[in-house]
């Protein structure tokens, strides 16, 4: 089924069986930065929502029943209520350019937003209050939160690393070398392994998470 131009981020509301698709769009085409809400059972779009700028990653909060979507510029996180999924309900300001990677701590109601400026912003998901700002090793991409062990993994494409944070203290624990251009990571369900795709050498690396 057709969605918007250059679909990128996805978030799934399994209760209503709808997916929000964050469309990057084309800067040369006015109005092409959009969010498409797709009804899975009907196999068709339910709504097309104009976005205030280039979209990035999206996550879904099951408890609050809202989608969060990063907007690169102007840097912000837009919130779409799954119960009224035809509009943006509110926005959360991000005090650093290029909101990119995004994940959610459901227990503490925090959003982890990694920005192209090289900053990790932690926000209160409900009020938008800035809780912490951390320096990253470079411009980030994918972010994964390990809820079980309280770790946050941030992929850094250049010079090529994964920054690791303790989410209880928000202190940086270290940085794992990957290779330049490694933007995409994944986390095993148990949180004991981190996977990184290495496009320059056409490999996938598996790292054992050191957990205390």
Ordered by start, the domain boundaries in the chain are: 1-135, 139-212
**Other beta carbons within 10 Å of 59:** 24
Give the pLDDT confidence of 12-49 residue by residue, as tens digits: 999 999 999 999 999 899 999 999 999 999 999 999 99
Q: Kind and range of the H or E element at 181? A: none
**Structure tokens belonging to residue 193:** 């392994």
The reported pLDDT for the residue numbered 163 is: 97
Give the pLDDT confidence of 126-146 residue by residue, as tens digits: 999 999 999 999 999 999 999
Which CATH number applies to 139-212: 3.40.1350, 2.40.10, 2.20.70, 1.10.1740?
A: 2.40.10
d(C-alpha 105, C-alpha 119), whole Å = 18
Taking CA 130 as the corner, what is the angle to CA 129 and CA 131, rounded to the nearest 5 degrees? 110
Top CATH class, 1-135? mainly beta
Closest CA to 149 of 197, 208, 100, 202: 208
């Amino acid at each position: 089924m057709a969605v918007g131009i250059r679909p990128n981020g996805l978030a799934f509301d399994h209760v209503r069986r709808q997916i929000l698709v964050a469309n990057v769009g084309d800067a040369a085409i006015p109005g092409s930065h959009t969010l498409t809400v797709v009804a899975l059972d009907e196999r068709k779009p339910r709504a097309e929502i104009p976005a205030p700028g280039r979209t990035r990653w999206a996550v879904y909060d099951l408890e609050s029943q809202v989608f969060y979507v990063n907007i690169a510029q102007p840097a912000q996180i837009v919130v779409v209520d799954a119960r009224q999924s035809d509009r943006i309900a509110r926005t959360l300001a991000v005090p650093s350019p290029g909101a990119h990677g995004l994940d959610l701590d459901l227990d503490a109601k925090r959003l982890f937003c990694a920005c192209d400026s090289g900053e990790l912003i932690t926000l209160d998901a409900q009020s938008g209050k800035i809780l912490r700002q951390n320096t990253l090793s470079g411009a980030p991409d994918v972010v994964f939160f390990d809820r079980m062990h309280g770790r946050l993994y941030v992929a850094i494409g250049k010079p090529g690393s994964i920054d690791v944070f303790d989410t209880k203290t928000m202190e940086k624990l270290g940085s794992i070398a990957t290779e330049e251009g490694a933007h995409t990571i994944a986390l095993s369900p148990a949180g004991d392994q981190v996977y990184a795709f290495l496009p320059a050498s056409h490999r996938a690396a598996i790292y054992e998470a050191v957990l205390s």
